[in-house]
């Protein structure tokens, strides 16, 4: 590339990219709209805490704790049809001007079911943008599955949440390898080559309990997701995000309707075990 071409490329505006997903939900469109626009309903499948000020000009606040939270400004509000909000794009470096991501939902009623479409746009082209785009795309895969579980398997039931998180001073590939090795998530090695949709039966490394269900998806080195049928149709999800030396790893275990004592015991065991997996390689927060 010549000097003039390099300068032209540097000066050219970033080409925005979008994540597009669609899911069919066995729920009426009114219930899906509530799941997107009511703070209590949002917290059954998406963030830990949510608040919504309805209507154009209103806001959507989403929080997973101090480390991940933010507010989006609503600029489209068509009940049971369309919702869109703008949220500041977090940055890893200097940007010429503030940028925003756009999160847009459209809903279509179809035979008592709902077709829900998501377009998440506004991603740039830097290396950091690429990582944020890929991680967000992976995260939406799980969140839409979580929405399906909340509406179809656990309507009206509050989600119970376990979420140990650890900063790892290595690569995503190394973090993933630790989690699928014997003694990682499970006492046995996670089966190599197992296909999505297959059945599994393994022992949880944190508790020794048998876990059974379906392989929902596998995306090394981002993570994986399995259903846990014998925990009242819960979900276990691994998320690995970030650059080498600053890798952020999280285990999300969603359960529904378990006795509080059982849930508290599970949380204590998983938090201890997850910290032990990465105890020898902790990256700075």
Rounded distance between C-alpha atoms, residue 43 and residue 51, angstroms: 9
pLDDT at residue 7 greater than cutoff 50: no
Supply the pLDDT for residue 157: 95
Could you identify the residue written with the tokens 């509080």? 260
Rounded distance between C-alpha atoms, residue 150 and residue 209, angstroms: 24
pLDDT band of residue 149 (cuts 50, 70, 90) is very high
Maximal CA-CA distance, the chain: 67
Last residue of a domain, one of 128, 152, 176: 152
246 in any annotated domain: yes
Q: Which residues pair with 83 in a beta bridge?
A: 77, 105
Which region holds residue 58: left if phi is over 0, alpha if psi is between -120 and 50, else beta?
beta
4 in any annotated domain: no
Supply the pLDDT for residue 15: 47
Q: Do both 70 and 126 map to the same domain?
A: yes
Last residue of a domain, one of 106, 125, 152: 152
Q: For the whole prediction, is pTM greater than 0.85?
A: yes
Rounded distance between C-alpha atoms, residue 173 and residue 240, angstroms: 9
Look up the CATH number of the domain holding residue 212: 3.30.530.20
Domain enclosing residue 187, as ranges = 159-277
State the total domains in the chain: 2
Q: Do both 55 and 135 map to the same domain?
A: yes
Q: Where are the beta strands (DSSP E) in 151-276?
A: 159-162, 165-168, 199-203, 210-219, 223-228, 234-241, 247-256
**% of the chain exceeding 70 in pLDDT:** 90
Neighbours of 73 (CB within 10 A): 16
pLDDT at residue 29 greater than cutoff 60: yes
Is cis: bond before 256, omega within 30 of 0?
A: no
Q: What is the CA radius of gyration of the chain?
A: 20
pLDDT at residue 104 greater than cutoff 60: yes
Residue by residue, DSSP assigns 199-235 as: EEEEEBTTT--EEEEEEEEEETTTEEEEEEGGGTSEE
Rounded distance between C-alpha atoms, residue 137 and residue 114, angstroms: 22
Q: Do both 22 and 127 map to the same domain?
A: yes
């Amino acid at each position: 590339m010549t000097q003039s071409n390099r300068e032209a490329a540097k000066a050219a505006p970033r080409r925005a990219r979008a994540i597009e997903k669609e899911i069919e939900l066995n729920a009426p469109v009114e219930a899906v709209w509530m799941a997107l626009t009511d703070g209590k309903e949002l917290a059954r499948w998406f963030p830990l805490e949510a608040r919504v000020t309805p209507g154009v000009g209103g806001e959507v606040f989403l929080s997973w704790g101090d480390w991940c939270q933010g507010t989006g400004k609503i600029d489209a509000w068509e009940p049971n049809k369309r919702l869109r909000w703008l949220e500041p794009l977090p940055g890893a470096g200097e940007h010429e001007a503030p940028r925003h991501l756009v999160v847009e939902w459209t809903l279509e009623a179809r035979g008592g079911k709902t077709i829900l479409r998501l377009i998440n746009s506004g991603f740039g082209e830097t290396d950091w943008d690429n990582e944020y785009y890929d991680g967000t795309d992976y995260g939406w895969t799980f969140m839409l599955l979580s929405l399906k579980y909340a509406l179809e398997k656990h309507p009206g039931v509050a989600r119970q949440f376990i979420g140990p998180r650890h900063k790892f001073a290595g690569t995503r590939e190394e973090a993933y390898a630790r989690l699928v090795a014997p003694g990682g998530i499970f006492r046995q090695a996670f089966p190599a080559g197992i296909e999505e949709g297959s059945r599994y039966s393994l022992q949880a490394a944190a508790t020794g309990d048998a876990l059974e269900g379906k392989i929902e998806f596998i995306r090394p080195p981002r993570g994986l997701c399995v259903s846990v049928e014998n925990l009242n149709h819960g979900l276990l999800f691994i998320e690995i995000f970030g650059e080498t030396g600053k890798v952020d790893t999280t285990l999300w275990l969603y359960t529904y309707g378990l006795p509080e004592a059982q849930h508290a015991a599970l949380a204590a065991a998983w938090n201890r075990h997850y910290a032990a997996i990465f105890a020898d390689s902790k990256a700075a927060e």
